[in-house]
């Protein structure tokens, strides 16, 4: 009899029961760790405790209004030295690899590699701020004559010629495979793709809420204007245009990005991104799951609303369940390929310290049939 087919919600691993400390500290990481009822109850109790005291409304509004400044400050401090390049991308998301298989349905997904990202993974991209584009992006498209000028933040969407689409001519219009990464940060997803995927038909768009982050991407030696366009974008502003038309993208990447958005704005963001996909195009997501170590570490007074917190540096983060993400994507008209949770144990052998991480990984596809 053939082995039963793995469903998208379960990884094809055996369960990991960690009872021997000596054996535990021989390894850097364990995938698909099985939580006991006691461990889950303890995590739930910690969340109830740290969310029992919400920040006052005026403070919450302050974090919303100044979100762009907090992310700019974050990247000014850390530049590109904070995150590890995400070379696991091609194992988890074969759609990004050179020999991509368009028929890949995500039913059987290999395990996460040991090259994990920083504890503060992929942060930063959309909060309530302003849209502007950098001078380098303007120059690379040769759309401005004479001396280029940086757009003022107010009204940038209307003033910047780069984001005006004329006919079928737009950045990357001649490409045969187009990828958009939202929340690109310093480029730790974009550059591994550019380095690994030599498909001559590939074009990558990448955007971030932080002007500082986009500047880091544009000034990287690996930034190739013939294959990539980096631009500043506020996802939460539905009047802020994209440089590509609707139904033009094969892939949209959201790596630890959706969690940085105000929860009540998430549905509008997902719906808007879904319109950019070609029929059959996919959104790839990896983000924080409920009861992740980062959630349990928050103290009282850092909670903004249910499962939504502010860090010490002013940036914010939400912790999802699978059902919440499924509802966001299906409401946007997408169909599920994969929605799984990975409870992962990371071990710092030097400090003899264990860290339980909870991440959710999703793939959702725009139906091939035209939308009504």
pLDDT in tens, 111-145: 333 333 433 443 333 332 222 223 333 333 333 23
Query: What rounded mean pLDDT belongs to the chain?
Result: 76
User: Average pLDDT in the 12-34 region?
Assistant: 51
Domain total of the chain:
1
160 — pLDDT class (breaks 50, 70, 90): very low
Is residue 369 one of the residues assigned to a domain?
Answer: no
User: Average pLDDT in the 49-54 region?
Assistant: 92
Enter the tokens of residue 356. Answer: 């339980």
pLDDT at residue 256 greater than cutoff 60: yes
Is residue 212 one of the residues assigned to a domain?
Answer: yes
Other CB atoms within 10 Å distance of the CB of residue 3: 6
pLDDT at residue 26 greater than cutoff 90: no
- Specify whether the CB–CB gap between 134 and 150 falls below 8 A: yes
Is residue 357 one of the residues assigned to a domain?
Answer: no
Is residue 304 one of the residues assigned to a domain?
Answer: yes
Is residue 228 one of the residues assigned to a domain?
Answer: yes
Q: How far apart are CA 186 and CA 330, in angstroms?
A: 30
Q: What is the residue range of 276's domain?
A: 47-97+170-344
pLDDT in tens, 165-216: 545 789 999 999 999 999 998 898 999 999 989 899 999 999 998 899 899 9
- Residue 332, C-beta contacts closer than 8 angstroms, at least 6 positions apart: 267, 270, 271, 273, 274
pLDDT at residue 67 greater than cutoff 80: no
Enter the tokens of residue 155. Answer: 């009204």
Is residue 84 one of the residues assigned to a domain?
Answer: yes
CA torsion sign for 67, 69, 71, 73 is negative
Q: How far apart are CA 353 and CA 257, in angstroms?
A: 27
pLDDT of residue 72: 75
CA angle 98, 99, 105 (to 5 degrees): 115
User: Average pLDDT in the 75-79 region?
Assistant: 66
Q: In three state form, how does the secondary structure of the chain look? A: CCCCCCCCCCCCCCCECCCCHHHHCCCCEECCECCCHHHHHHHHHHHHHHCCCECCHHHHHHHHHCHHHHHHHHHHHHCCCCCCCCCCHHHHCHHHCCCCCCCCCCCCCCCCCCCCCCCCCCCCCCCCCCCCCCHHHHHHHCCCCCCCCCCCCCCHHHHCHHHCCECCECCCCCCCEEEEEECCCCCCCHHHHHHHCCCCCEEEEEEECCHHHHHHHHCCCCCCCCCEEEEECCCCCCCCCCCCCCCCEEEEEEECCHHHCCHHHHHHHHHHHHHHEEEEEEEEEEEEECCCHHHHCCCCCCEEECCEEECCCCCEEECECHHHHHHHHHHCCCEEEEEEEEEEEEEECCCCEEEEEEEEEEEEECCCCCCC
Burial category of 288 from C-beta neighbours within 10 Å (exposed 0-12, middle 13-18, buried 19 and up): buried
Give me the CATH number covering residue 67.
3.40.50.150
pLDDT at residue 305 greater than cutoff 70: yes
148 or 288: which carries more pLDDT confidence? Answer: 288
186 or 308: which carries more pLDDT confidence? Answer: 308
pLDDT at residue 271 greater than cutoff 50: yes
Is residue 363 one of the residues assigned to a domain?
Answer: no
Backbone angles phi, psi at 33, to 5 degrees: -70, 135
pLDDT of residue 344: 85
pLDDT of residue 233: 93
Q: Tokens 């963001």 sit at which residue?
A: 269
CA neighbours within 13 Å on the CB side: how many for 339? Answer: 16
Is residue 11 one of the residues assigned to a domain?
Answer: no
- Specify whether the CB–CB gap between 365 and 337 falls below 8 A: yes
Q: How far apart are CA 75 and CA 72, in angstroms?
A: 5
- Specify whether the CB–CB gap between 103 and 242 falls below 8 A: no
51 — pLDDT class (breaks 50, 70, 90): very high
């Amino acid at each position: 009899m053939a082995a039963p087919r793995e469903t998208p919600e379960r990884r094809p691993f055996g369960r990991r029961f960690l009872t021997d400390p000596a054996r535990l500290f021989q390894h850097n990481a364990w995938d698909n760790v099985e939580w006991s009822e006691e461990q889950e109850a303890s995590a739930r109790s910690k969340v109830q405790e740290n969310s029992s005291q919400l920040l006052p409304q005026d403070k919450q509004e302050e974090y919303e209004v100044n979100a762009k400044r907090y992310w700019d400050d974050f990247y000014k401090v850390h530049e590109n030295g904070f995150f590890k390049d995400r070379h696991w991308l091609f194992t988890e998301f074969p759609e990004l690899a050179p020999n991509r298989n368009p028929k890949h349905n995500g039913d059987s997904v290999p395990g996460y590699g040991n090259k994990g990202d920083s504890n503060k993974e992929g942060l930063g991209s959309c909060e309530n701020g302003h849209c502007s584009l950098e001078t380098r992006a303007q120059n690379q498209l040769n759309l401005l004559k004479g001396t280029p000028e940086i757009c003022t933040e107010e009204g940038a969407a209307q003033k910047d010629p780069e984001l005006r689409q004329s006919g079928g001519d737009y950045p990357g219009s001649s490409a045969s495979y187009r990828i958009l990464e939202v929340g690109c940060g310093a480029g730790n997803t974009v550059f591994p793709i550019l380095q690994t995927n030599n498909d001559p038909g590939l074009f990558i768009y990448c955007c971030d809420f932080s002007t500082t982050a986009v500047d880091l991407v544009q000034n990287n030696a690996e930034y190739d204007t013939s294959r990539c366009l980096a631009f500043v974008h506020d996802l939460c502003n539905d009047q802020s245009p994209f440089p590509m038309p609707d139904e033009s993208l094969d892939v949209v990447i959201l790596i630890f990005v959706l969690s940085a958005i105000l929860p009540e704005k998430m549905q509008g963001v997902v719906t808007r991104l879904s319109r950019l996909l070609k029929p059959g195009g996919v959104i790839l997501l990896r983000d924080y799951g409920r009861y992740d170590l980062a959630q349990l570490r928050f103290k009282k007074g850092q909670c903004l609303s249910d499962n939504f917190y502010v860090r010490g540096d002013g940036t914010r983060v939400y912790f999802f369940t699978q059902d919440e993400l499924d509802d966001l994507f299906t409401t946007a008209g997408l169909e599920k390929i994969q929605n799984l949770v990975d409870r992962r144990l990371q071990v710092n052998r030097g400090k003899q310290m264990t860290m339980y991480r909870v991440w959710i990984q999703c793939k959702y596809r725009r139906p091939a049939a035209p939308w009504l």
